[in-house]
Homo-oligomer: A and B are copies of this chain.
Amino acid sequence: MKSMAVHRFEPERFHNVFGGHEAVLSLSPGDLLITRTVDAHGVDSQMRQVAVRPNPLTGPFSVRGAEPGDTLVVQLEKILPNREPGWTTNAIDPALVDPDFARNVPEKQYVEWRVNKKSKSVFLTDAGWSLGRLELPLDPMLGCVGVAPKDGQMLSSMTSAEHGGNMDWCGCRQGVSLYLPVFNSGALLYIGDGHAVQSDGEIGGNGVEISMDVELSVDLIKGRETGWPRAEDDRWLYTLGNARPFFQALQHATTEMIRWLAQDYNLGFSEASILMSQSIRYEVANIFDPAYTAVCKLEKATLDGVLNS
């Protein structure tokens, strides 16, 4: 029987790329990590500037026994803002509107928000806008979760690929388990870029940017090939594709779901097609970063009749 160790890690140095660094801590499969992330501009829970832009990352954490070809499991046990003030900006990205409408996009300004953990809400505190009392449900997430990339690359914390990275998926929240392909010994996990809440698409280029307390446990699936990040919660299976154009991200996510249904549920292409064509849902995770992120999801209940047959 595995005994779970609990590690507390207070980050002092941060990275702006995935890959190329020595591990700051070594975890064993099953271990729990309690740590923190700073916001996208490097500001921490005490409003101190402790790191430089963009998206300073906590980590990397190595996982004992992880080798290329394995899958790293990252279970997100807790993601919670560790301060009250957050910020966004005031302009949907000009690439995301009709090109002849883009000249209407205003100059970028910062916008202030505040988290109320008691009421579980995030509300606009910036008086400069005619938005009354805009209040949204608190829904914390991590914009960046990933491992060291393949092919010896060091990739900016602004972008994403097979290794995960800056996927800015609002579904990357407490209660979700991520499955990431391992490309390097130890996997080397990085996290960062917390948002108190975020729309689909991250269309303004940010969620409510904030520093976070994070608790996660890690595990390994030895010899399991994962092409693109996968995730799971109580209700859904998720596959994530990262690419431009968005359609290619959709292709990756769709293909990865077909592969997963083949690996774990023994479905052929036709069977996966019949099932998926009437039941899957997509999410537009981000359409702002250098690589966009598409999510394909399948409700687990759909598989009940199939598996009991």
Does A10 make an interface contact (CB < 8 A)? no
Contact assessment for A305 and B102 in the assembled complex, using a CB-CB cutoff below 8 Å: no
Contact assessment for B255 and A101 in the assembled complex, using a CB-CB cutoff below 8 Å: yes
Contact of A109 among B103, B270, B287 (CB under 8 A): B270
Query: Size class of A's contact patch?
Result: 35 or more
Closest to A150 in B: B156
- A308 in contact with B132 given A99-B99, A247-B245, A284-B282 (CB within 8 Å): yes
- A100 in contact with B92 given A135-B305, A274-B134 (CB within 8 Å): no
Contact assessment for A269 and B88 in the assembled complex, using a CB-CB cutoff below 8 Å: no
C-alpha spacing A100/B93, complex, angstroms: 8
Contact assessment for B309 and A131 in the assembled complex, using a CB-CB cutoff below 8 Å: yes
Contact of A282 among B201, B208, B248 (CB under 8 A): B201
| Those of A250-274 within 8 Å (CB) of chain B | 250-252, 254-255, 258, 266-274
Contact of A198 among B99, B158, B278, B287 (CB under 8 A): B278
Contact assessment for B305 and A133 in the assembled complex, using a CB-CB cutoff below 8 Å: yes
Chain B residues contacting A254 (CB-CB under 8 Å) are 92, 96-97, 203
- A274 in contact with B124 given A246-B246, A280-B200 (CB within 8 Å): yes
- A247 in contact with B98 given A17-B151, A274-B111, A279-B136 (CB within 8 Å): no
- A280 in contact with B199 given A274-B111, A306-B134 (CB within 8 Å): yes
Contact assessment for B247 and A287 in the assembled complex, using a CB-CB cutoff below 8 Å: yes
Closest to A285 in B: B282
Does A24 make an interface contact (CB < 8 A)? no
Count of this chain's copies in the oligomeric assembly: 4
C-alpha spacing A206/B279, complex, angstroms: 12
Chain B residues contacting A154 (CB-CB under 8 Å) are 19-20, 152-154
CB distance from A293 to the nearest CB of B (A): 12
C-alpha spacing A49/B271, complex, angstroms: 28
Please, what's the 1-or-0 string for A117-142, where 1 marks a CB less than 8 Å from any CB in chain B? Answer: 00000101000011111111000000
Chain B residues contacting A305 (CB-CB under 8 Å) are 131-135
Contact of A103 among B93, B103, B307 (CB under 8 A): B103
Contact assessment for A273 and B152 in the assembled complex, using a CB-CB cutoff below 8 Å: no
Contact assessment for B287 and A250 in the assembled complex, using a CB-CB cutoff below 8 Å: yes
C-alpha spacing A272/B246, complex, angstroms: 23
Which residues of A does B touch, CB under 8 Å?
16-17, 19-20, 88-106, 109, 111, 122, 124, 129-136, 151-156, 158, 197-208, 243-248, 250-252, 254-255, 258, 266-284, 287, 294, 302, 305-309
